[in-house]
Amino acid sequence: MNKELEHSFVEQLEANQNIVHKICRLYTHDQDSHNDLFQEITIQLWRAFPKFRGDSKFSTWMYRVALNTAITLYRKSKRRIKTQDFESISFKIKSEEYDDTIELQLKLMYGAVKKLNDIDKALVFLYLEDKSYREISHTLGISEVNARVKMNRAKEKLRKILNP
């Protein structure tokens, strides 16, 4: 086992772990499955790490592998996750800092994003991460035009979820 490789991997993952946590939050509904998914993504990233040649940024590469893992794992356990525990959506904000209605809106929006299918969720996630359509298309392996079209449809779906 290559020790240096392991160290450099763990270091980079530690520095970029926010990406993985955000994906875990979107794709799971409780702390246990959050941790499970985090571990699964870590293992998949580590397996794929030898193929990471550094021609893209570590974080860009991470988005791709982590989302793929979340999507495939999510697909596998789709039947299991049926109920959505709305309260578990962790948007803990101190009430004095924010307007309650804005807070509620955000919560509803976040809940709506969580209700999207796995691919749309990935799209919206990258949008929230402030990625350009070029980056989104690159990460998800679709064309830029396709990414725009899909994103518009996802927004439409969100609208419908929020205003049924």
Partner 1 sequence: MDQLDKLKKEWQSREQELPKVSFNDIYKMLLKKSSSIVKWIFVISIAELLFWIGLHFLIPKENIELMSNMGVGDIMFYSNFIHYTIFAIFIYYFYRNYRSIQVTDNTKMLMRNILKTRKTVKYFVYYNVGMAILVSIVVDIYFYKNSNQLYEAMDFASKGVPQDNFANVFILSQIIVGVVIIGLLVVFYWLIYGILLKRLKGNYIELQKMGD
Per CB under 8 A, residues contacting partner 1 are: 1, 6, 10-11, 13-14, 17-18, 21-22, 25, 38-39, 42-43, 46, 90, 92, 102, 105-106, 109-110, 113, 124, 127-130, 155, 158-159, 162
Do residues 57 and 104 lie in contact, with contact meaning Cβ atoms separated by under 8 Å?
no
Nearer to partner 1, 55 or 108 (CB): 108
Distance, in Å, from the CA atom of 162 to the CA atom of 160, rounded to the nearest integer, reads: 5
3-state helix vs strand vs coil in the chain, percent to 5: 75, 0, 25
Contact 9, 65 (CB under 8 A): no
Strands, E, within the chain: which ranges? none
Smallest separation (angstroms) from partner 1 to the CB of 152: 9
Pick 49 or 141: Cβ nearer partner 1: 49
Shortest Cβ distance from residue 90 to partner 1 (Å)? Answer: 8
Give the tokens for residue 16: 């970029």
**Minimum CB distance to partner 1, residue 75 (Å):** 20
